[in-house]
Structure 1
Amino acid sequence: MGFATRLREFTRADHATAQGTGYFDALLAGRLDRAGYAALAGQLYFVYETLEQAAEAMRDDPVAGRFVFDELHRLPALAADLRHLIGPDWQTRTGPGEATSEYRQRLREVAFTWPLGFVAHHYTRYLGDLSGGQIMRRALHRSYGLGEDGTSFYTFPGVDPRSFKQRYRKLLDEAPWDAVDQDRFLDEVSHAYRLNTAMVDELGRTVLPQPTDAS
């Protein structure tokens, strides 16, 4: 079993947990309004801002630098989506939640100086965007009447998701990591999933109706 295949198997449960939140259930079912979706885009902006700063710090690393793909960068698309969804003053109306701030702090701790940590978080975010993110884009078009404006985060001009993911997994298989490195990588990917799930759960508590105490 190649490392990329092992990684997919290792994170299968984490991926299912991340996708099975109440927030994503409501979003995909069309039960939120545009503001509910904009809240997600806003939090993602702050995550990608930090991650893409880390990409610049890692660009010249002999291993991690191979995973820096400018065509994947999401920050300009997120800014365009937020201008459409919230307005030109979106920056004054958007801020990171507590869980998002914890996510960014972890990125600052591991993604700027530890190549394995950078790639672990890079993999978790961008390969998810190229996979389940495409399902999300279609759902947003269908349920919220959004076209390219408002959903450009999920569009990768010039990138074929299937072939790109194959290329990315080949890089993972070729990375010069020993068994200890691979285990540390897997642990950090799992940590990244938990941070993302906590961020989305916090969003759910913010935008979804909360049950009241009948007593």
Structure 2
Amino acid sequence: MTVTTDARPFSATLRASTLEVHEKANYSTYMRALLGGELTQEGYTQLAIQYYFVYGAIEAASDRMAGDSVGGEFVFDELRRLPNLERDLAHLVGPDWRETITPLASTREYVSRIREASSWAGGYVAHHYTRYLGDIAGGQAIRRLLERQYDVAEAGALFYHFEGIGSAPRFRDAYRAKLDNAPWDEAERARVIDETLVAFECNVAVFDELASRLDEFRA
């Protein structure tokens, strides 16, 4: 069990406790190849496809959590990614994208974990935090890559457009305040940290499986 007792706000403890695995995801073989401009557009499309299944699971959990006194605080309609992903995939894959895309084995395991963890508000928040805050911040580097390398600025890159949240720094600050104020005791906070670590590892597993196919997508 992760130890969380310290004088910092919980959001700071959560960030510090997950920094190592966060860096592991950021510097995975697949992400380094993508951000290094080494992949074709199809190489990025494979990631967008996996995100469709992941965010489908998270946003279904958001629907279930909407009335929860704790989890409901982390349901933001302005964050929802599925509508943008659907437009992106129609552009990147084609009009028949729903019939042609499939999740990787690691993605299926990730989706299963989201569904299992989201039976508890803290587990839901762990997965929500891991994905959305990363997309709002670090995901913007991928947005710039898509615009620069593939000339994809609207449909195809809409996943990384977050105009609905207003100021990104203010939104992140407000989100962290919700983490700090959530009524979890020390044991529950430890569980949230542990599940956030699992969420990051789920992301790493997807990146690793994508990396196993890099030769197909070298630019």
TM over 0.5: yes
Residue 123 in structure 1 maps to residue 129 in structure 2: yes
Residue 181 in structure 1 maps to residue 188 in structure 2: yes
Counterpart CA distance in 2 for 1:208 and 1:121 is 30
Residue 31 in structure 1 maps to residue 31 in structure 2: no
Name whichever of 25-34 and 68-77 sits farther off. 25-34
- Given the two structures, how large is their TM-score scaled by the length of structure 2? 0.93
- Given the two structures, how large is their TM-score scaled by the length of structure 1? 0.94
SS in 1 for 2:206: helix
Identify the match of residue 77 of structure 2 among 59, 70, 74.
70
2:28 partner amino acid: T
Q: What's the counterpart of residue 197 of structure 2?
A: 190
Identify the match of residue 114 of structure 1 among 108, 116, 120.
120
TM-superposed CA distance for 1:149, in Å, is 1.9
Residue 54 of structure 2 contacts residue 110 of structure 2 at CA under 8 Å; is this kept in 1? yes
Identify the match of residue 149 of structure 1 among 138, 142, 155.
155
Counterpart CA distance in 1 for 2:211 and 2:150 is 18
TM-superposed CA distance for 1:21, in Å, is 1.0
TM-superposed CA distance for 1:92, in Å, is 1.6
1:84 partner amino acid: H
Aligned length in residues: 209
- What is the aligned-residue identity percentage? 46
SS in 2 for 1:51: helix
Identify the match of residue 84 of structure 1 among 80, 88, 91.
91
Residue 23 of structure 1 contacts residue 208 of structure 1 at CA under 8 Å; is this kept in 2? no
Q: What is the RMSD computed on CA atoms of the aligned residues?
A: 1.2
Residue 106 of structure 2 contacts residue 202 of structure 2 at CA under 8 Å; is this kept in 1? yes
TM-superposed CA distance for 1:146, in Å, is 1.2
Residue 162 in structure 1 maps to residue 178 in structure 2: no
Residue 137 in structure 1 maps to residue 158 in structure 2: no
Counterpart CA distance in 1 for 2:151 and 2:211 is 21
Residue 46 in structure 1 maps to residue 44 in structure 2: no
- Structure 1 segments of 4 or more deviating over 4 A? none
Deviations 1:45-93 (A, max 9, x none): 0000011001000100001100000000000111110111111011122
SS in 1 for 2:163: coil
TM-superposed CA distance for 1:209, in Å, is 5.7
SS in 1 for 2:177: helix
Q: What's the counterpart of residue 94 of structure 1?
A: 101
Q: CA distance change for structure 1 residues 84 and 209 in 2, over 3 Å: closer, same or farther?
A: closer
Q: Unmatched 5+ residue regions in structure 1?
A: 211-215
TM-superposed CA distance for 1:157, in Å, is 2.0
Counterpart CA distance in 1 for 2:86 and 2:215 is 24
- Higher RCO (C-alpha 8 Å, min separation 6): 2
2:153 partner amino acid: G
Residue 58 of structure 2 contacts residue 114 of structure 2 at CA under 8 Å; is this kept in 1? yes
Counterpart CA distance in 1 for 2:116 and 2:215 is 32
State how 1:193-208 maps to structure 2 within 5 Å: 193-208=200-215
